[in-house]
Amino acid sequence: MDKQGYPRITDIVGLGIFLFRAMLIFLFIGEIMKQSRLPKFIFMSLVVVLGSISLTFAGSHGHKKDTKKGILLVAFGTSVPQAQKSFDHIADMVGKEFGTIPVKWAYTSSIIRKKLAKQGKQLDSVEMALVKMMEQGFTHVAVQSLHTIRGEEYDDLVKTVQAFSHLPDGFEKIIVGEPLLNLEDDMKTVTQAIIDNLPPQRTKNEAVVLMGHGTPHPSNAFYAALMFHLQRKDPLVFVGTVEGSPDITEIKDMMVEKKISKAWLVPFMSVAGDHAMNDMAGDEEDSWKNILGKAGISSTPVMKGTAEYDNMVTIWIAHLKTAMSYL
Ligand code: CO
């Protein structure tokens, strides 16, 4: 307050910073509570303690921070240990490309984070990872989506990042890199990468069926569009989805029409995880393998996620490079 009793601008800014930081800390605590069984009152005391710490720090704003750039890679996550190699491959290629810039990871699926927490592996949500990066003094962050299309997960990521981009004393710049299949250009490069990655043992009249995830989100249309572009290069490549359209029944009908008797099943997801193991290649009656089998089409699954291929990861990295160029 000044002498006249009016609050000064700096007081208001200071209060704003305090409120934002308190909000972030609540978020942070909420995240820990979800993953832990410690009694509630311990967390409430933590909130009070951290709140007062943040009040103390709120007073020390105003000086220009040193630039510190960072990368946050954001994937859905996987509970299948073998599928982790997709993420290791991305980490490897991103490390080679960006050298000294620190790379952090976050996983958008809370189900997977909880599942892995029970096995003792603590994975960060996007909020958690960004709070940590803020506290570590990062000023410029490129958040790269490792999703396949611009679906719900991606939209949520953008909203979260937007919330973080307006914090006083927070990041100076934070930007989201686009998912694999985003622009018309990506359609061309992804189509070519898929064609180049087709199973080498496949013979001419054998089909290849890609399994996309699928979503109620309007961007589900990307899958049918991708099939159109693929079939212009190779008429026996199909794209179905687990949770959207085209579904496997529609794909099966198309294959029966073309009198196909053998197919290769290939995940069109970054990891060959639970969906690939069960929905695609599993022994359940409604797995893709068995649905095709009943229609007289024998199939061979290829248990390899898209992020295991260099040419696919290169596309995500190109999007990350674009994001970095705006930092
Ligand atoms: Co799923």
Within a domain: 192: no
| Three-state SS at 272 | coil
pLDDT at 27: 64
Please give the distance, rounded to the nearest whole angstrom, from the Cα atom of residue 190 to the centre of ligand 1: 21
Please give the distance, rounded to the nearest whole angstrom, from the Cα atom of residue 244 to the centre of ligand 1: 11
pLDDT at 51: 46
Residues 170 and 318 in one domain: yes
Residues 173 and 76 in one domain: yes
Tell me whether residue 229 is one of the annotated catalytic residues.
no
Residues 174 and 318 in one domain: yes
Q: What pairing do the DSSP bridges indicate for beta strands 262-267 and 207-212?
A: parallel
| H or E, element range at 300 | strand 298-301
Please give the distance, rounded to the nearest whole angstrom, from the Cα atom of residue 17 to the centre of ligand 1: 38
Question: Which value, in Å, is the radius of gyration of the alpha carbons in the chain?
Answer: 24
Residues 15 and 123 in one domain: no
Within a domain: 190: no
Please give the distance, rounded to the nearest whole angstrom, from the Cα atom of residue 78 to the centre of ligand 1: 10
- Catalytic residue from among 61, 147, 166, 213: 213
pLDDT at 56: 47
Instruction: Return the bridge partners of 71, or none.
Output: 103, 142
DSSP conformation class of 165? T
Residue range of the domain that includes 9:
1-63
pLDDT at 198: 98
Instruction: Return the bridge partners of 210, or none.
Output: 239, 266
Tell me the residue type at 229. Answer: H
Residues contacting residue 285 through CB under 8 Å, at least 6 positions apart: none
Residues 240 and 289 in one domain: yes
Instruction: Return the bridge partners of 241, or none.
Output: 212
Residues 78 and 5 in one domain: no
Please give the distance, rounded to the nearest whole angstrom, from the Cα atom of residue 225 to the centre of ligand 1: 21
Please give the distance, rounded to the nearest whole angstrom, from the Cα atom of residue 137 to the centre of ligand 1: 35
- Which residues of the chain fall below pLDDT 50? 1-5, 7, 43-44, 46-53, 55-56, 58-59
pLDDT at 43: 47
Residues 117 and 202 in one domain: no
Give the distance, in angstroms, between the CA of residue 32 and the centroid of all CA atoms in the same chain.
Answer: 21
Within a domain: 119: yes
Residues 28 and 78 in one domain: no
Residues 80 and 167 in one domain: yes
pLDDT at 183: 86
